[in-house]
């Protein structure tokens, strides 16, 4: 297990980092660093022997935060910001249809479970209330912020 980043490397955090209860003075669950923020590695350590944790200093929020390898990319690597974040409420901006069947009507409420980035294309794993137990991979263009859809036509 070798670290991907070394002391002084500039890195970008790819997901929001929230307090897991280990950051003093901030409530558990509160946002520590917003995805897309750039910081510098100031330390490298391990957690439970099999995970490398990087101490990253984010000057814009004046915090040193522990980040896992999968949460970081090089600061100079391509980055496409997303409109929505995990746990954010959204609505279907258009009907989601498969084989002619409307699975999710326009305006259906949902929650983003995960933000996926693949070659600059943003897609979301979304759970819609109208389809309990189902998970949909939805392109950013098919979603709206919750409460912004007033259309009732499912097509």
Whether 56 and 29 map to the same domain: the answer is: yes
In a domain, residue 2? The reply is no
Pairing of strands 10-13, 109-118: unpaired
In a domain, residue 39? The reply is yes
Categorize the per-residue pLDDT at 148 as very low, low, confident or very high, splitting at 50, 70 and 90.
low
Whether 46 and 96 map to the same domain: the answer is: no
In a domain, residue 20? The reply is yes
Whether 17 and 69 map to the same domain: the answer is: yes
In 3D, which of 58, 72, 62 has the Cα closest to residue 25?
Answer: 62
Domain total in the chain: 2
List, for residues 24-37, the tens digit of each pLDDT value: 898 998 989 988 99
CA 48 to chain centre: 24
In a domain, residue 1? The reply is no
List, for residues 90-118, the tens digit of each pLDDT value: 999 999 999 999 999 999 999 999 888 77
A 10 A CB-CB count for 84 gives 20
Domain limits for position 32: 10-74
Whether 62 and 95 map to the same domain: the answer is: no
CATH number at residue 37: 2.30.30
């Amino acid at each position: 297990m070798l670290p991907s980043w070394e002391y002084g490397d500039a890195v970008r955090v790819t997901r929001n980092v929230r307090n897991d209860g280990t950051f003093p003075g901030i409530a558990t669950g509160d946002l520590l660093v917003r995805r897309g923020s750039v910081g510098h590695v100031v330390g490298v350590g391990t957690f439970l022997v099999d995970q490398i944790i990087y101490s990253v200093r984010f000057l814009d929020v004046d915090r040193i935060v522990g980040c896992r390898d999968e949460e970081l990319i090089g600061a100079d690597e391509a980055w496409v910001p997303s409109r929505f974040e995990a746990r954010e409420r959204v609505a279907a901006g258009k009907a989601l249809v498969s084989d002619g069947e409307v699975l999710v009507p326009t305006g259906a409420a949902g929650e983003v479970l995960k933000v996926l980035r693949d070659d600059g294309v943003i897609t979301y794993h979304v759970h819609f209330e109208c389809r309990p137990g189902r998970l949909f991979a939805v392109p950013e263009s098919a979603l709206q912020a919750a409460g912004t859809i007033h259309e009732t036509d499912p097509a």
